[in-house]
Amino acid sequence: MLLFGIDFVLKPIPMRKIVLFYFLLATAQIAVAQEKHVLITDTADSKSITKNVFDIEEVQVTAKLSDANLKSGSTGLLIDVKQLKQLPKLIGESDPYKALQYMGGVSQAGEANSGLYVRGGNNDQNLILFNGSMIQNPTHVLGMFSVFNPDLIGEMRFIKSGMPAEYGGRLSSIVEINTDNSIPDSLKIKGSVGLISSRISTQIPIERKISIYASWRGSYISSIILPLLSKVGIDSLLTQNKYEFWDANAGFIYNISQKTRLTGSFYIGKDDFRAGELKQVNLSSNYTFWQNTTAGIQLNHIFNEKWSMNHQLNYSEFQIQTTLDWYNSKQSIKSQLKNINYKSDFFNIINNNHKLKFGVEISYYNALPNHFTSDSIVSSDVNTDYNYIHSTQITFYGRDEWTWRNWQFNLGLRTNLYAHIGPYTDFNEIADIIYNKNKIIKTYSGIEPRFFSRYLINSKSSIKVSATNHIQYLNQIPIFSIGIPMDLQIPASLFVKPQESWHFSGGYFRNLDDNNWEISIEVYYKNFKNLLEFNNGENGTFSNGMYENSLQSGTGWTYGSEWKLSKNYGKLTGWISYNLAWNYRQFSEINNGLPFLDRNDRRHDLSVVGMYEIDKKWHLSAVFVYATGSRLNLPLSWFIIDNKYVLEYGKYNAFVMPAYHRLDVSLNYKLKPWHGINSELDFSIYNLYNRYNPYQIYFNPANQKIMMSYLLPIIPSISWNFKF
């Protein structure tokens, strides 16, 4: 399969303006002496305004500090988005978000999966923010793409330990992605055209202080690629699958003054999926769609050299629905979550040392955990009763970061008050209990202490330790294991307690050879309370009413070590990351109450990333990943009683899938300029040695066999990128 794409950028920065910038940069000392402006930065909030000594809106220069890994605090390191875009592309498109799977502490999610399983946590335990709005499901096409258009990503931050107090609501990690907030001096257009998908984005300056941007991206895999695969003899069941998506972004940037900025953003994206191979399990047809919608507005203001503030109001919505034709009966399951969030925080510097940050966050949630409908009577308990879960939350937080000699400390505290409110009906056998609108049904509260410390041993090495507590009120629980994506959105409520976790982490970091090389060794331990498991099965899945009766609550713990070696400079750059981890769960009604290894337990996880600049024209990159197979709970044997299958299981999650490994390569060639057009060719191969990594393993009662499905074979691609 050969894929072609075209990337283009119109109207680059004029050379005279670049020369002017470097001239101004060389005279910065003189300008700083003449101006009274002071740079104000907040290491924990990349959206805070920074006073600029020079008003040069058309040029943006960024650089990575050579010892950033040694000195970085609890707010984590900004991800080098430009570097991640140089990695081999998946089906012709770079995806910095998906590349986070190659970072230390993140387990390989599996074939065509953008899920992040950070230090033994579940996929729903990551707080993913896009311009401040919560993204509940960050994937397109079962994870082949993320929802983030790579042409719009301005900066990305990833925090996996020592989480500062201003972030909360999740147990495992923070992924914060923001669009580029610079105002261009002229119209800019970027785009890509290919056989898999196309995208286009534009930035339009209205005047020096105002600009707007918009983008669109869509796929047509089922219209072009799958028919071609069918003609060349690829598995007919695979080519019967349908994968389509589209998304759109829009926003504006308004620099009201040097001290005040107003920004707004909007995103909407939708996926459609059909799994053709499920005809083997008597699903004559199936259809799944999921959709993300976000909107937000942010106001940043600097009062003086020591005070700044940030206000943001965000809306997000996620919905997913699956419809099945099962034995001539149409079954439909829907789940959704809506969220309105207001956050206000203030940043203050005391004595040029203590950096204080404090604020308040108010949220309202409206969730539909599950709504099941059917056009006929099936053997399960089907009724028309279902509930929306309405809840509200208020959080106060504060933290102080200061440096004393070679020590840096970050102490923080979050306090939460969460309430499940009416309307709500408690369905039970005796008599339904009805709660009226805005009636407080159940409250939960908690205090989350945060501690982080870093000690600089010398100019080449440091030690970091952290201990943090986290509370999570929103849950996303998968209910299917037959290859169809379906997650229930379940917030804390009358019968569902919030999840809790303590996370302890420590690491040693060292730079070698004038900071050209970096090595790090980290160890961690996490424990979990009130983890949720859903009883997969007909009675639990295909019913309404009290879904809480099908949930089980348990505990868990995970521990491991992370080893990383990086080379940052020279013709050859990249890193090697290795994780060794154990991940346990314990539920009173599972595995006879004994501890068992979690489905996401992967003992070994290895990523090798290399980028080599052959010369000024040729650039080579490659990624190799290896991970121990995830665990499944499959039957050891089965027999038939009264025309019904009875399955016999052994120890819970005792089955281990085959190991996952893959090699991707990319070769980039920069062409000679032609009539002012700079262009390059990019040759990429996904899954170079055509490894058949299993996508799904399940029991098929039709032929009484364990079935294994595959998704992506070797995929070569070529793209032509140009700009003028």
The residue behind tokens 């490659």 is: 622
Q: Give residue 61's identity as a one-letter amino acid code.
A: V
Whether the CA torsion 625, 135, 127, 500 is positive or negative: it is: negative
Is the confidence at residue 483, as pLDDT, over 70?
A: no
Q: What percent of the chain has pLDDT over 90?
A: 43
Strand partners, 407: 404, 455
* Residue pair 148/97 in contact by the 8 Å Cβ criterion: yes
Q: How does strand 389-404 pair with strand 407-421? A: antiparallel
* Residue pair 382/374 in contact by the 8 Å Cβ criterion: yes
Q: What is the DSSP letter of 703?
A: T
DSSP string over 168-237: -S-SSEEEEEEE--PPPSS-EEEEEEESSEEEEEEEEEEETTEEEEEEEEEE-IIIIIHHHHHHTT--HH
Q: How far apart are CA 2 and CA 681, in angstroms?
A: 14
Is the confidence at residue 67, as pLDDT, over 60?
A: yes
pLDDT at 129: 95
Residue of higher predicted confidence among 481 and 466: 466
pLDDT at 315: 98
**Where residue 530 falls among pLDDT bands split at 50, 70, 90?**
very high
Range 123-131 average pLDDT: 92
Residue of higher predicted confidence among 497 and 635: 497
3 state SS for 551-565: EEEEEEEEEEEEEEE
Write down how long the chain is. Answer: 724
Q: Is 433 in a helix, a strand, or coil?
A: strand
Q: How far apart are CA 393 and CA 417, in angstroms?
A: 6
Q: On the CB side of 552, how many CA atoms lie within 13 Å of its CA?
A: 17
**Where residue 633 falls among pLDDT bands split at 50, 70, 90?**
confident
**Where residue 89 falls among pLDDT bands split at 50, 70, 90?**
low
Q: How far apart are CA 610 and CA 627, in angstroms?
A: 18
Is the confidence at residue 76, as pLDDT, over 80?
A: no
**Which residues are CB-neighbours of 23 under 8 A, at least 6 positions away?**
none
Whether the CA torsion 118, 119, 123, 126 is positive or negative: it is: negative
Burial of residue 438, with CB atoms counted within 10 A of its CB: 0-12 exposed, 13-18 middle, 19 or more buried: exposed
Show the domain range for 182. Answer: 3-723
pLDDT at 151: 84
Is the confidence at residue 21, as pLDDT, over 50?
A: no
pLDDT digits (tens, 9 = 90+) for 183-235: 888 888 887 777 777 888 899 999 889 999 999 998 877 776 667 666 665 55
pLDDT at 249: 96
pLDDT digits (tens, 9 = 90+) for 257-279: 999 999 999 999 998 877 655 55
DSSP string over 301-324: EE-SSSEEEEEEEEEEEEEEEEEE
pLDDT digits (tens, 9 = 90+) for 136-193: 888 887 667 788 988 888 888 999 999 999 999 999 999 999 998 888 888 888 877 7
Is the confidence at residue 115, as pLDDT, over 80?
A: no
Which of these, 300, 343, 333, lies nearest to 127 by C-alpha position?
Answer: 343
pLDDT digits (tens, 9 = 90+) for 353-362: 899 999 999 9
pLDDT at 592: 87
pLDDT at 3: 39
DSSP string over 436-495: -TT-EEEEEEEEEEEEEEEEEEETTEEEEEEEEEEEE-EEEEE---SS---EEEEE--SS
Mean pLDDT score across all residues of the chain: 80
Centroid of chain to Cα 610: 23
CA distances from 643 to 639, 640, 649, 681, 701 (A): 10, 6, 19, 60, 12
Q: How many domains does the chain have?
A: 1
Q: How far apart are CA 459 and CA 511, in angstroms?
A: 9
Tell me which of 8-22, 287-301, 450-464, 706-720 is least confident. 8-22
- Residue 348: enclosing H or E segment and its boundaries? strand 329-350
Whether the CA torsion 495, 483, 143, 658 is positive or negative: it is: positive
CA distances from 248 to 199, 209, 212, 243, 612 (A): 9, 24, 14, 18, 34
**Where residue 450 falls among pLDDT bands split at 50, 70, 90?**
very high
**Which residues are CB-neighbours of 315 under 8 A, at least 6 positions away?**
133, 293, 294, 295, 296, 338, 339, 340, 341
CATH number at residue 676: 2.40.170.20
pLDDT at 24: 39
* Residue pair 576/564 in contact by the 8 Å Cβ criterion: yes
Burial of residue 514, with CB atoms counted within 10 A of its CB: 0-12 exposed, 13-18 middle, 19 or more buried: exposed
Residue of higher predicted confidence among 280 and 583: 583
Q: Is 89 in a helix, a strand, or coil?
A: coil
- Residue 83: enclosing H or E segment and its boundaries? helix 81-84
Residue of higher predicted confidence among 236 and 341: 341
pLDDT digits (tens, 9 = 90+) for 411-449: 999 999 999 999 998 887 788 899 999 999 999 999 999
Range 295-310 average pLDDT: 94
Tell me which of 118-127, 341-350, 632-641, 694-703 is least confident. 694-703
Which of these, 134, 707, 681, 45, lies nearest to 364 by C-alpha position?
Answer: 134
Largest CA distance in the chain: 91
The pair of structure tokens assigned to 40 is 């104000």
pLDDT at 9: 37
* Residue pair 720/5 in contact by the 8 Å Cβ criterion: yes
Is the confidence at residue 399, as pLDDT, over 70?
A: yes
Tell me which of 146-155, 319-328, 411-420, 593-602 is least confident. 319-328
Q: How far apart are CA 326 and CA 542, in angstroms?
A: 12
Residue of higher predicted confidence among 542 and 204: 204
Burial of residue 247, with CB atoms counted within 10 A of its CB: 0-12 exposed, 13-18 middle, 19 or more buried: buried
* Residue pair 369/335 in contact by the 8 Å Cβ criterion: yes
CA distances from 529 to 224, 299, 358, 533 (A): 48, 37, 28, 12
Which of these, 85, 105, 95, 79, lies nearest to 607 by C-alpha position?
Answer: 105
